[in-house]
């Protein structure tokens, strides 16, 4: 496989394993097991399986291997382990890399389930966790210690789109020998350069942009061959977080079109952010691709784009936000992101509902906040939809 290919070529041809039939489209090996020609072969395979030798689908499967190789090529990682969901990936990366007595530092602005692992699960096993304001490098510097084994952040946070300086935080972490794990969902695999910027491990929820059409759950952990095969794989294959071959096949086909989709969705997000900024029904528009974003320069340097999601705050709180959502005719009310369909989410009442009020306030998750994941509809139709729904929001103030 040619590592010199450009991204779009990798996304179409990377990782292909053709069967004896020379099929055009990648084969779906919907099998949990594999047959050995002889007892000796079974013995040899259990002793050491080669890269294209399979034993059991919880360990690996040819369709899953195609997905792993393709996404690893795109990310510029040596290897990847595919997981049942984004949370299986985050959980696997964290649990496999730390042990009792270790210290972990993480940014506070996180997806709810990531926060649950850090606040509720890791401490149960004797891991101490310190949470910091991820945009504040002073706080990272003050929090890392000689026993800090791992640093975790979402490189762009949900839902307030705060950008973490991967290079700077990695340098702080590496000074004490800590491993850097970046949950890169909001940055998207298209704009990510996290590994060359210093991250040791990158995780994705493949449920988001990689599928991109709202069909399946999946996740992936990317890193060096040594860490993926030496540390991550033993943990994942014995704890059962494997990606199903069927989902791997859906995700593999998703990768073929991901570049086109994510770039189109990002262009739409930028267009909507520009149109909505300053709208009288809104008190705030948050989009890292707008010069008004406090980390615009960092987002440009790190990603070269603002991503597929924007957030905005509707003046008038819950009533106005709900009037807006209920008036939408194209955008759907849901909680996924990266989908072909535009999705509007009120985080304070859905994904972040259980967060204590003071923490919501500290993170800027106000009652009027809407997270908008831009889809593949015509941007002019989306702009018209937003405008008419914002009128409904203004009418109820």
Ligand X SMILES: *Cc1c(COP(=O)(O)O)cnc(C)c1O
Among 185, 194, 250, 299, binds ligand X (CB under 6 A): 185
71 binds ligand X, rule: CB under 6 A: no
Among 14, 15, 62, 86, binds ligand X (CB under 6 A): 86
CB of 203 to ligand X, least distance (A): 7
Of 15 and 219, the one with the shorter C-beta distance to ligand X is 219
Of 88 and 320, the one with the shorter C-beta distance to ligand X is 88
Give, as one character, the DSSP assignment of residue 335: S
CB of 279 to ligand X, least distance (A): 26
Spell out the alpha helix ranges (H) of the chain: 7-13, 39-47, 62-75, 86-97, 112-116, 137-143, 166-175, 188-191, 225-227, 233-239, 245-276, 296-302, 317-327, 357-363, 379-395
Classify residue 59 as exposed, middle or buried by CB count within 10 Å of its CB (0-12, 13-18, 19+). middle
CB of 358 to ligand X, least distance (A): 22
Of 276-295, binders to ligand X (CB under 6 A) are none
Strand duo 179-183 + 201-205: pairing? parallel
In sequence order, what are the beta bridge partners of 371?
311, 345
Of 71 and 185, the one with the shorter C-beta distance to ligand X is 185
CB of 205 to ligand X, least distance (A): 3
Of 154 and 339, the one with the shorter C-beta distance to ligand X is 154
Residue whose C-alpha is closest to residue 176's, from 223, 125, 222, 141: 141
Of 204 and 324, the one with the shorter C-beta distance to ligand X is 204
Q: Given the rule CB under 6 A, which of 42-50, 204-212, 220-228, 321-329 is the region that contacts ligand X? A: 204-212
**Preceding amide of 138 cis, omega within 30:** no
Q: Do 111 and 162 touch, CB atoms closer than 8 A?
A: no
CB of 381 to ligand X, least distance (A): 26
Residue whose C-alpha is closest to residue 93's, from 108, 104, 101, 109: 104
CB of 113 to ligand X, least distance (A): 6
Q: How big is the CA angle at 29 (ends 27 and 35), to the nearest 5 degrees?
A: 130
207 binds ligand X, rule: CB under 6 A: yes
87 binds ligand X, rule: CB under 6 A: yes
Of 54 and 111, the one with the shorter C-beta distance to ligand X is 111
Q: Do 312 and 349 touch, CB atoms closer than 8 A?
A: no
Q: Given the rule CB under 6 A, which of 21-29, 172-180, 202-210, 286-294 is the region that contacts ligand X? A: 202-210
Among 54, 111, 191, 312, binds ligand X (CB under 6 A): 111
CB of 359 to ligand X, least distance (A): 17
Of 197 and 373, the one with the shorter C-beta distance to ligand X is 373
Q: How far apart are CA 332 and CA 25, in angstroms?
A: 32
Of 212-271, binders to ligand X (CB under 6 A) are 217, 219
Among 77, 82, 109, 114, binds ligand X (CB under 6 A): 114
DSSP string, 50-95: -TT--SBTTT--HHHHHHHHHHHHHHT-SEEEEESSHHHHHHHHHH
Residue whose C-alpha is closest to residue 220's, from 196, 202, 208, 238: 202
Of 252 and 323, the one with the shorter C-beta distance to ligand X is 252
Of 133-162, binders to ligand X (CB under 6 A) are 154, 158
SS3 call for 346 = coil
Q: How far apart are CA 306 and CA 190, in angstroms?
A: 12
Chain positions contacting ligand X, by CB under 6 A: 85-87, 90, 111, 113-114, 154, 158, 183, 185, 205, 207-208, 217, 219
């Amino acid at each position: 496989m040619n590592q010199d290919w450009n991204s779009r070529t990798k996304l179409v041809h990377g990782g292909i394993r053709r069967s004896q039939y020379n099929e055009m489209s990648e084969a779906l090996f919907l099998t949990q097991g594999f047959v050995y020609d002889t007892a000796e072969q079974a013995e040899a395979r259990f002793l050491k399986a080669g890269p294209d030798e399979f034993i059991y689908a919880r360990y690996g499967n040819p369709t899953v291997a195609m997905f792993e190789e393709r996404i690893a090529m795109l990310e510029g990682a040596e290897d990847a382990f595919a997981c049942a969901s984004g949370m299986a990936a985050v959980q696997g990366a964290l649990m496999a890399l730390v042990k009792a007595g270790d210290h972990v530092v993480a940014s506070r602005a996180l997806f709810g389930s990531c926060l649950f692992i850090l606040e509720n699960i890791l401490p149960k096993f004797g891991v101490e966790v310190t949470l910091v304001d991820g945009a504040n490098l002073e706080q990272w510097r003050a929090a890392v210690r000689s026993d800090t084994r791992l640093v975790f952040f979402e490189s762009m946070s949900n839902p307030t789109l705060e950008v973490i300086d991967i290079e700077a935080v990695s340098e702080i972490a590496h000074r004490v020998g800590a491993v850097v794990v970046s949950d890169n969902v909001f940055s998207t695999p298209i704009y990510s350069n996290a590994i060359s910027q210093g991250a040791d491990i990158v995780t994705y929820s493949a449920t988001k942009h990689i599928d991109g059409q709202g069909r399946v759950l999946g996740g992936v952990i990317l890193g060096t061959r040594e860490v993926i095969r030496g540390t991550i794989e033993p943990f994942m294959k014995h704890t059962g977080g494997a990606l199903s071959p069927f989902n791997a096949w859906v995700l593999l086909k998703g990768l073929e079109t991901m570049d086109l989709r994510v770039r189109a969705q990002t262009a739409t997000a930028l267009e909507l952010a520009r149109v909505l900024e300053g709208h009288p029904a809104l008190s705030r528009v948050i989009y890292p691709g707008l010069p008004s974003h406090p980390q615009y320069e960092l987002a440009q340097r790190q990603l070269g784009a603002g991503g597929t999601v924007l957030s905005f705050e509707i003046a008038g709180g819950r009533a106005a936000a709900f009037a807006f959502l209920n008036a939408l005719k194209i955008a759907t009310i849901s909680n996924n992101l990266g989908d072909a369909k535009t999705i509007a989410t009120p985080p304070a009442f859905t994904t972040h509902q259980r967060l204590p009020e003071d923490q919501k306030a500290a993170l800027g998750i106000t009652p009027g906040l809407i997270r908008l994941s831009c889809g593949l509809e015509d941007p002019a139709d989306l702009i018209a939809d937003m405008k008419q729904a914002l009128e409904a929001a203004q009418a109820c103030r």
